A = this chain, B = another copy of it.
Amino acid sequence: MGYNTKQREKLLEYLIENKEQHMNVQKINSCFVNEGINVGTATIYRQLDKLVEQGIVRKYIIDEKTGACYQYIDSENDCHRHFHLKCTRCGKLIHLTCDHLSGLGDHIYEHHGFRVDPSKTVFYGLCADCEGAVQE
């Protein structure tokens, strides 16, 4: 399982504190800098890889430009069917909870033989605010 270094602890602690949001390496890095914690970027990447492999953290590919995002998997209310909605106008990212879309992946798999990967799939469209703005 690997050593339990203080860098790993700090990283995990930070991800748990921010488990409602997506974090990328940039955010993590600047937070550590602000708090005076010195953790090399390479270490962050290497530890994140391990955390993902161990099933503790989930990695999302939402936007090629901002890089990969990471999120702690809260075992109490985690959902593998967690999808994302991204507004093409304002760029807002909305997390869609599993209750509403549960069964979507199953349906596509059972009826169409396709195994959807929610960590890569993003629904594009207009959020409520932007749809109103466009129609005016």
A33 lies within 8 A of chain B by Cβ: no
Q: Which residues of A contact B (CB under 8 A)?
A: 61, 63-64, 67-68, 85, 87-88, 94, 96, 98, 100-101, 104, 107-108, 111-117, 120-128, 131
Q: Would you mind naming 23 contact pairs between A and B with Cβ atoms under 8 Å apart?
A: A61-B61, A61-B120, A64-B64, A85-B112, A85-B114, A96-B112, A98-B111, A98-B112, A100-B107, A100-B108, A100-B111, A100-B112, A101-B107, A101-B108, A114-B127, A115-B126, A115-B131, A116-B123, A116-B125, A117-B126, A120-B125, A121-B122, A121-B124
Which residue in chain B gives the minimum CB-CB distance to A117?
Answer: B125
Residues of the B chain whose Cβ atoms lie less than 8 Å from the Cβ of A63 = 61
CA–CA, A52 and B123, complex, Å: 17
Distance (Å) between the CB of A25 and the closest chain B CB? 12
* A127 touching B100, Cβ below 8 Å: no
Residues of the B chain whose Cβ atoms lie less than 8 Å from the Cβ of A123 = 108, 114, 116, 121
Further pairs besides A61-B63, A113-B128, A121-B124: 7, Cβ < 8 Å = A96-B112, A98-B111, A101-B108, A114-B127, A115-B125, A115-B131, A116-B125
